[in-house]
Structure 1
Amino acid sequence: MAKLSHELERFFFETEQPAHVKLADILLLAKERTFGFLLVILSLPSALPIPAPGYSVPFGILIFLLAIQMIAGSKTLWLPQKMINHPIKLETAQGVVKTGIPWLRRIEAIARPRLSYICVTLPGRVVIGSAIALMAISMMIPIPGTNTLPAMGIFVTSFGLLEDDGAISLGGLVLCLMGAILTSSILIALMWGGSSILDYIKIWLGR
């Protein structure tokens, strides 16, 4: 099975593509790895340290739908045709992929099948799906700071799912927890206009 970085490099840079591409076209690369593959692709733009305006909300919606289907134990995915057939500029997609490939290769270098029961059993997929669903909601919040870390959590967790690497998925779940704390902290600070969760943690540790 070809590595994801190789598949994306071949698709976007080694074969001729039209001026606009669609998620439906990229999805053909997934083969039997549909859920993990698509979750990695959808979280990649927001997880990278580059501006990705306009992608967090629609991709967050798609990620949420996929997560709910994982929780329900679905073996095949369903997504709105209008969204997966929405055209994306080839130059924009190539820019994201070019930036993301080095990060993909770093994770691929350490990924291998281990603790696979976390990724393939229903309880494990329910936990992963629940964490991803919460992070997808965070991605959809139009407030700075609520997108990148949750998207990174989804990206790493889903990459473990893609490679049947439960250890990487567990690392991703830790990032999801950190993302949940950060998002909650930001929201509480905005609502109360005062201390955030992080401030309270610092005070508690100081005692």
Structure 2
Amino acid sequence: MPHQFSGLHQLLEHIEESARHSKRVSLEMVLQAVGLRSFAPLLLLVGLILFSPLSGIPGVPTAMALLVLLVTVQLLLGRKHFWLPQWMLRRSISKQKLHRALQWLDKPARFVDRWLRPRLAFLVRRSGTVVIATLCTVIALALPLMELVPFSATIAGMALTAFGLALVAHDGLLAVIAFAVTAFVFGLIAGAFI
């Protein structure tokens, strides 16, 4: 049964706890901590990775794009359990890098958690989830380009985090904010290439 998270700070604590006894932390370990069967925590996790300093590591935005694509396509096809390739699950970082990223996210997570609450729930129910998954697929397709536009992957991470949190907390207002952030990031990319 997937772990249920009441907020962002609790998710970060759960990830930190799951990595406590390892020198390196693989994607598989983190996904097992958040729940490989649940779309919202997976989306939230990818968003947090992209929003954190880890997005500055070359190739991380593209790897996260693949993860989002694999999950959103399976969700849109109606699968209940997500399959991910072993080469992706084996990707790892040092426990110290993960710890620094989680520390960096701690204060923003506490701040965000104070504002989360169920509202405008129709935006995050079944049809809303399909719209969110479709938009996240589009973001994922653009992420490799975002490695060329400074800060765009970080802003995309903010949008993915907001979508994930909206689904976790059943907060439709946060989904509306995520739609606005998504529009902004695509405007930023269009401005860079036009």
TM range (shorter): 0.7 to 0.9
Structure 1 residue 10: deviation in Å? Answer: 4.9
What TM-score, normalized by structure 1, do the two folds share? Answer: 0.79
Residue 76 (structure 1) shift? 2.3
Unaligned regions of 5+ residues in structure 2, if any?
A: none
Which residue is equivalent to 1:117?
A: 122
- Larger RCO, structure (CA 8 Å, separation 6 or more): 2
Residue 149 of structure 2 is aligned to residue 139 of structure 1: no
CA RMSD of aligned residues (A): 2.3
Counterparts in 2 of 1:138 and 1:180: CA distance versus 1, 3 Å: same
Q: 2:190 aligns with which of 184, 188, 200?
A: 184
Deviations 1:135-159 (A, max 9, x none): 1222221312331222211111111
Report the structure number with the largest CA radius of gyration: 1
Please give the per-residue CA displacement for 1:144-199, whole angstroms capped at 9, x wherever unaligned.
Answer: 233122221111111111212111111111101111111122122xxxxxxxxxxx
- 1:174 pairs, out of 173, 177, 180, with 180
Sequence identity (%)? 21
Partner of 2:101: 96
Alignment of 1:1-207 (within 5 A): 1-2=4-5, 3-12=7-16, 16-31=20-35, 34-48=38-52, 52-54=56-58, 55-121=60-126, 123-141=127-145, 142-145=147-150, 146-188=152-194
Q: CA deviation at 1:120?
A: 2.2
Question: Per the alignment, do residues 46 and 10 of structure 1 end up closer, same or farther by CA in structure 2, a change over 3 Å counting?
Answer: closer
* Alignment length (residue pairs): 187
Kindly provide the amino acid, as one letter, of the partner of residue 147 in structure 1.
A
Taking structure 2 as the reference length, what is the TM-score of the superposition? 0.84
